Structure 1
Amino acid sequence: MVDERAYWLAWSQIPGIGPVSLRRLQQHFGTLATAWQATKSQLGEVEGFGFQTLEKVVKQRSHLHPEQLLTKHQQENPYFWTPADTDYPRLLLETPSPPPILYYRGEVELQENLGQKPMVGIVGTRQPSDYGIRWTRQISAALAKNGFTVVSGMAEGIDTESHMAALKAGGRTIAVLGTGVDVIYPPKNRDLYKQILSAGLVVSEYPGKTPPDRTHFPRRNRIIAGLSRAILVMEAPLKSGALITATYANDFGRDVYALPGRLDDHPSQGCLKLLNQGASLILKELDELLTMLGAVPQLDAVTAPTPEQLTLPTLPPELQQVIDAIAVDALPLDFIVQQTGMNIGSVSSALLQLELMGLVSQLPGMRYQKN
């Protein structure tokens, strides 16, 4: 039996073949195992595979043996997911560039349920003001107490404050690293790293022992955005990695929220720019924010028939299954996936069709309600 994980790993070892190219290969050939056996001319039919790329593929492929590579890799990096694994985070898989290998360390229960828990990213400057710290702590704690997993990057400043506040509130948190999952950066966060391992996860697309590199951190921001239902930018100057995360969030169709600040405050200039570009405002009434993010969904009611169901037009089975899963109140995308047992691509496609039919509406926080 072919292990598709081995081929995700093997393809990822070829220079010049990144997450976008791998997604294109999968879509063109159906599986990466099939793509591995494809001829040079067949590979040339894939978008982005020009002469130089094809030469690299043919040369490197002859030296790689996927099954052997997987066995050796598992000895050095035993804990990782590929898009072929059912535990791979569902929302991240929906993005155009999901990491072909996502390494993890941490608490087992969270590993098994990562795709089923609502996640919200919190990002911001490494040098926050007292104002930014205070609101980061309040919002992170509120999210944690209401069942959300707080996602951030374990950098100094806002990231560190969000992780610590979520843990202190008894909640879950995920740190997305720009190093290997066994490398603690910054070193001063050693204690925080240990706490996260006991009540959360650290994840990275880089293998073990990978040291910090300035090019890694902007790239890891797409993973923070991809994992999250929404991104909250707490404080960010105009030149800030948090704005990169917000840009990814917009590209991925996630909601972006920003904490307002004074016009003459340097740490708030990036947030003010986001608000000017259409980001939602984080207000003092946190209950409103939690509602917008989809807190406390009514899971008990998702299978109960409603009067509306009796008057719906006859729908194809997949569409009917999705609309049956939506309760009277709005339900987040990840919970619809959980209730239907369908993959996220099929659910997203069904929801789009239901929207076009006027039967479903999308709300902020990637939530859907019946019309």
Structure 2
Amino acid sequence: MTQKVFVVGVGMTKFEKPGEREWDYPDMAREAGTKALADAGIAYESVEQAYVGYVYGESTSGQRAIYELGLTGIPVVNVNNNCSTGSTALYLAAQAVRGGLAECTLALGFEKMQKGSLGSTFDDREQPMMRHLLALAELQEFAMPPAPYMFGAAGKEHMQRYGTTAEQFAAIGVKNHRHSVNNPYAQFQKEYSLEDVLAANQIYGPLTKLQCSPTSDGSGAVVLASEAFVDRHDLAERAIEIVGQSMVTDLASTFASNSAINLVGADMTRTAAESVYAQAGFGPEDVDVIELHDCFSTNELLTYEALGLCAVGEGGRLVDEGATTYGGRWVVNPSGGLISKGHPLGATGLAQCSELTWQLRGAADARQVEGARLALQHNIGLGGAVVVTAYRPANR
């Protein structure tokens, strides 16, 4: 029988510019994991399985990281799914509880990154993104670095098809930098004008530097539990239920549609979101607060459409209406998102979960979304995987 799954503890470090702070990944994991356990009010000995995500690291870095919390002999699974690594760890930890294999699990993610654009580690074998890049190069002339090229190309396609403007993409960067001012965990906490964002160094297509997520160091952690565990430990008042969750990888349409928008995951997101809405019993119109994968401002706008916040081609209209910020229909990325909060790849999905948990508890301080009752999370990694998760408080 399928079990209900609850978030009972969350924790994260401040996200930092690589090299800004004297720490290593075990230090990051200890800080985030200790915070999550304390938030849940349980000891590490209560955890039955752990899923530890990172992209840049050696093969058993997950064990080395989690051993900072204790040595109990539990299964520790190392997880790597590119930028969706953190939410993939969350998905696996939830799956163990949902399937009745464990009553309490831990998802932890971290990243210690190099400065500058993402690069490859192994150059003696085919790169996992090669098929995507070759397909995209047939649509738009290849450029470096690959990530802004891919998401910038998708933005250019949207502009050509639907008349979306550079100003609309830039306004998303303005919004997310403004939101991050109230987030003490964010790497950047500075507000910029639309003119500032547009005038920043151009990276590719409509993207300027202030519309791109930075490399970051940091960690996040989430404790999950079954309903029986929540009841036994009297955690219902602070528990947040996962009411829908889906993980989808690349589809035939990713390559067959001859679309840069699909090559960066729009169809994956749409498929996952439709599954989550069916599981949760509510739709995008019911959601109050969203943390989505704005690795680049273009992807935030594309994701509005893929999540069903508006029809395809109408993402720019949501920007113009102020529909995705405080006072609008939804608050999207109240944390500042990846653009301003930062993007340590293995930690991002768990930081998103942490933010939404705080929002649904009414504990997000100056960035609190008033009356938040339903939340949606979206985390994507090219090559490719997307995880979409829906949440609501257990006691409502």
User: Could you state the TM-score of these two structures normalised by the residue count of structure 1?
Assistant: 0.29
TM-score, with normalisation over the residues of structure 2? 0.28
Larger strand fraction of residues:
2
